Amino acid sequence: MKRRDYLKFIGVGSISAGLLLESCKSDGTDAKPSTTATNPAEADIITAGREQFEIDRDKQLLGETFFNEHEMATIAILADIIIPKDDVSGSATDAGVPDFIEFIVKDLPEHQVPMRGGLRWLDMECFKRFEKAFVDCTPEQRIQVVDDIAYPAKAKPEMQAGVTFFNRMRDLTSSGFYTTEIGFADIGYIGNTPNTYTGVPDDVLDAFGVKEMNWG
Amino acid sequence: MSNFQIKKKPTVYDAIIVGSGAGGGMAGYVLSQAGLKVLMLEAGPFYDPKLHSFQMLPPWVSLRRGAGTTRPFGEFDAAMGGWQIDGEPYTAAEGTEFHWFRSHMLGGRTNHWGRISLRFGPHDFKGKSYDGVGDDWPITYDDVKPYYDKIDVMLGIYGTKEGLPNDPDGIFMKPPKPRLHEILIKKAGQKIGVPVIPGRGSVLTEDLKDANSGRQKCWYCGQCGRACKIYGDFSSSSCLVIPAQTKYSLELECNAMVREVLTDQNGQATGVSYVSKDDGQEYQVMAKTVILAASACSSARIMLNSKSSRHPNGIGNSSGAVGKYLHDSTGVAMGGIMPSLLDRKRYNEDGVGSVHILSPWWLDNKKAKLDFPRGYHIEYWGGMGMPSYGFGFGVQGLNGKYPTKDGQTKEAGGYGASLKEDHRRFFGASVGMAGRGVGLALESNYCEIDPNKVDKWGIPVLRFNYKWTDAEILQAKHMQETFQEMMKAMGADITWGIQGKETNYGLEAPGRIIHEVGTVRMGDDPKKAPLNKWCQSHEVKNLFVTDGGPIVQQGDKNCTWTILALAMRTGEYIIEQKKQSNI
């Protein structure tokens, strides 16, 4: 889905008309990968071994929508800034991170106000600087704002609300990415499979100089 | 006319067992194996790890990636229930605190437990004789040793013979090989005089002697907490109750929440009454013997709620001790990063889901001039474990501190390809440890019936009264000092867990370690203890308790292996007493 396709679905009630108009003017040329590839459905709910209230709760949450389209578009762009495609693996949106974030804020409501408020803070900050919402900024403009909130130790005091939001966004994006098949391959986690544990490989024992301390 | 009624079941059983965890499962197995007609009542649903375990599900099949939203130990943990259960509250007296973890399901908490299987030692049974604190058990280690031996062989346990005075060796399978961080921890322990030995866990690293057990050897997924589909570890559901059903005709009624023990005019137990969670109906079922194994606090609750003219304080409670001497293990934890493990080589080190190493209590309190009685053992963790919800959180607190392989120090936080490199760099570099120690059994720590509150079934609920004393707080202080020294010797940087006096040195609140025991203690004097040394009520001869309730004073050991051994011992005693027509 191209970025401008997201923008078609911006809820008018959720953001100022000014921002909306600005959005419509922009001609997005930066392609945006789909976040819907892994959109979870009721069929994905685990049933065996769970209590009925757990299953019912999942169904209910899947039936609810928290973020509007504008917020989802912002989350998708931010997620791919945090976890972009690189030489090793794909991006956050390749791994379906925005859909995970949509679900987890419904599941753990303590994320809701900080996330919604943080996204709005980001738009207001962009509007102050560029008279545009984050999604309508150029990639360079977006990075200019992100650079001011991504480094807690050197961020200016007036950026603190943005820093706090970005820390949470970084956390959720990282967890959302590394708990997928793409993320497993990226991090090099190769367990979760029947095997016989044969101990630390010899070359590792040697590298740490602890071969004589091995047992079993 | 109301159609409310109590349905009476026609069968009179030889024994009814309330609860299907370690103690109930073992009692049910032993009695049904001996040919007794046994009914087991479980307050939760049927659960078979083979059918219901979440073992080897990857995080992406979970909508919440394994987050602990409805289960405190994560979505894939095998314990239904938790600290709070809808409609089944409990309370705490003002100024006191207790957290009660309940898991209503077949097998109870043994489906998710850590499988750390430690015998209590000679000192643990006779602590008062050694240091004057608390009470001695009416039995010794030698009384229980034959049963520890039997369950070692029957259920399977790994470990090594160490010849330690108060950590008796068992009949062990070979231990799992150590992981890298565990070797480094052992090396650090040698530097500072903290012994680190191979762990002891009820996981099958070898074939069981019983070739017909239906259990397979461990397949090293490291997920015992999810319960094992191949029955490679000990759960009461997979290793006791389901085999007793299929081999020995044990009858099982699930979703049966017991209210009280019924008695005749002589005060002897005649059966129990329960509400079925399936149909909401009330039932009574009769038996010649009643065995409570509902968990230490639930069994105390049932006894206290079983009031009659013969038992005005609750059944078997003329001593007034039911509910008292409640004690949990102490717990303190600390974690950090081992820089030597940054950018490490990848391989599968899931290992077993129980502990590969542990530090048994190593000090002589008198010689070391310690300001607290008894001690604790240490459990450790670390390694390249499977990511789940929470993975990568807080990286801004780490990635500015450790230079990269090229010697470049980054600004903390960040994003992009550089952040992905950081996540790879830190994977498998976290380590941590937790102490599990003796909480003292005190008369002043207890649960009682809250006169003002009932659960949704109309059963009066428990009110807890529990405060740590200096004994536990000073022990926690010692753990703090040891852990900090240990982390330093490991070359690790502590990232969490350092706490001071104002927070009791990180001592977890009572109940949080989920080793609560002692509420229906055994003792030779009927005026002081509800049970005799066979876990039999002094005054109601056909009433027994086989969960953590009878434990007089726990050691610095997790309690499950002792619950199992005592339950087997009591089961054999019941068979003997029935042969002699005493009950």
- The tens digit of pLDDT for each residue in B277-325 reads 999 999 999 999 999 999 999 999 999 999 999 999 999 999 999 999 9
- Sequence-distant (6+) residues with CB within 8 A of B452 are none
pLDDT at A135 over 60: yes
Residues in chain A within 8 Å Cβ distance of B393: 171, 174-175
Helix H or strand E segment including B406: none
d(CA A67, CA B411): 31
For the beta sheet containing B91-92, the strands, ordered from the edge strand earlier in sequence to the opposite edge, are B91-92, B460-465, B446-454
User: Which backbone phi and psi does B545 adopt, to 5 degrees?
Assistant: -130, 125
Strands B376-382, B460-465: pairing is unpaired
Number of H helices, E strands in chain B: 12, 16
The pLDDT value recorded for residue A57 is: 97
Q: Mean pLDDT across the stretch B532-550? A: 98
Q: Alpha-carbon torsion A78, A83, A89, A92, what sign? A: negative
List of E strands, B277-385: 282-292, 330-337, 357-359, 376-382
Q: In this complex, do A193 and B221 lie within 8 Å of one another by their Cβ atoms? A: yes
For residue B112, the tally of other CB atoms under 10 A from its CB is 26
d(CA A146, CA B418): 14
Amino acid at B89: P
Q: Mean pLDDT across the stretch B263-286? A: 97
Helix H or strand E segment including B459: none
- Sequence-distant (6+) residues with CB within 8 A of B22 are B108, B110, B236, B547, B560, B563, B564, B567
Q: In this complex, do B64 and A186 lie within 8 Å of one another by their Cβ atoms? A: no
Say if residues B413 and A170 touch (Cβ distance below 8 Å).
yes
Of residues A107, A163, A190, nearest to B64 (C-beta): A107
- Among the residue ranges A5-19, A122-136, B157-171, the one predicted with the least confidence is A5-19
pLDDT at A29 over 90: no
Residue owning tokens 């970005």: A166
Return the percentage of chain B with pLDDT > 90, whole number. Answer: 98
The pLDDT value recorded for residue B2 is: 77
The pLDDT value recorded for residue B350 is: 98
pLDDT at A6 over 60: no
Say if residues B343 and B405 touch (Cβ distance below 8 Å).
yes
Return the percentage of chain B with pLDDT > 70, whole number. Answer: 100
The pLDDT value recorded for residue B3 is: 76
Residues in chain A within 8 Å Cβ distance of B344: 204
Say if residues B19 and B295 touch (Cβ distance below 8 Å).
yes
**Tokens found for residue B197:** 């030995």
The pLDDT value recorded for residue B44 is: 98
Q: How far is CA B20 from CA B17, B24, B27, in A?
A: 8, 5, 9
CB pairs under 8 A between A and B: 218
For residue B536, the tally of other CB atoms under 10 A from its CB is 26
pTM above 0.80, yes or no: yes
Residues in chain A within 8 Å Cβ distance of B423: 174, 178, 186-187
The pLDDT value recorded for residue A8 is: 35
Of residues A171, A196, A208, nearest to B220 (C-beta): A196
Q: Taking CA atoms, what residue in A is nearest to B357?
A: A215
Say if residues B536 and B568 touch (Cβ distance below 8 Å).
no
Mutation test of the interface with chain B: which of A47, A83, A154, A187, choosing the one with the most B Cβ atoms within 10 A? A187
- pLDDT tens digits for range B329-369: 999 999 999 999 999 999 999 999 999 999 999 999 999 99
d(CA B550, CA B170): 22
Residues in chain B within 8 Å Cβ distance of A163: 413
Q: Does A56 touch chain B (CB under 8 A)?
A: no
- pLDDT tens digits for range B186-205: 999 999 999 999 999 999 99
The pLDDT value recorded for residue A23 is: 37
**Backbone dihedral region for residue B514 (phi beyond 0: left; psi -120 to 50: alpha; all else: beta):** left
d(CA A55, CA A48): 10
Residue A3 banded pLDDT, cuts 50, 70, 90: very low
Q: In this complex, do A175 and B390 lie within 8 Å of one another by their Cβ atoms? A: yes
Q: Does A52 touch chain B (CB under 8 A)?
A: no
Q: In this complex, do B65 and A204 lie within 8 Å of one another by their Cβ atoms? A: no
- pLDDT tens digits for range B30-54: 999 999 999 999 999 999 999 999 9
pLDDT at A24 over 70: no
**Tokens found for residue B192:** 């500072």
The pLDDT value recorded for residue B1 is: 62
Query: Most distant CA pair in chain A: distance in Å?
Result: 71
pLDDT at A2 over 70: no
d(CA B181, CA B187): 10
Distance between A21 CA and the closest CA of chain B, angstroms: 30
For the beta sheet containing B357-359, the strands, ordered from the edge strand earlier in sequence to the opposite edge, are B197-198, B357-359, B376-382, B430-437, B330-337, B493-496
Q: Does A90 touch chain B (CB under 8 A)?
A: no
Say if residues B330 and B472 touch (Cβ distance below 8 Å).
yes
**Tokens found for residue B559:** 């309690």
Q: What is the CA radius of gyration of chain B?
A: 24
pLDDT at B506 over 80: yes
ipTM here: 0.95
**Tokens found for residue B50:** 């083979």
Q: How far is CA B253 from CA A53, B16, B87, B180, in A?
A: 21, 11, 21, 46
Mean pLDDT of chain B: 97
Q: How far is CA B338 from CA B254, B302, B486, in A?
A: 47, 49, 12
Residue A39 banded pLDDT, cuts 50, 70, 90: low
Helix H or strand E segment including A163: helix A160-178
- pLDDT tens digits for range B434-471: 999 999 999 999 999 999 999 999 999 999 999 999 99
**Tokens found for residue A138:** 């150029």
Direct distance between the N- and C-terminal alpha carbons of chain B, in angstroms, rounded to an integer:
41
Helix H or strand E segment including B253: strand B251-253
Residue B124 banded pLDDT, cuts 50, 70, 90: very high
| Torsion angle of the four alpha carbons B194, B198, B201, B203, in this order, in degrees rounded to the nearest 10 | 160
Residues comprising chain B, all counted: 583
Q: Mean pLDDT across the stretch B229-233? A: 98
For residue A71, the tally of other CB atoms under 10 A from its CB is 23
d(CA B383, CA B428): 5
Bridge partners, B91 (sequence order): B463
Direct distance between the N- and C-terminal alpha carbons of chain A, in angstroms, rounded to an integer:
54
Residue owning tokens 């029935």: B578
Bridge partners, B533 (sequence order): none
Q: In this complex, do B221 and A57 lie within 8 Å of one another by their Cβ atoms? A: no
pLDDT at B485 over 80: yes
Residue B172 banded pLDDT, cuts 50, 70, 90: very high
d(CA A15, CA A132): 12
pLDDT at B210 over 70: yes
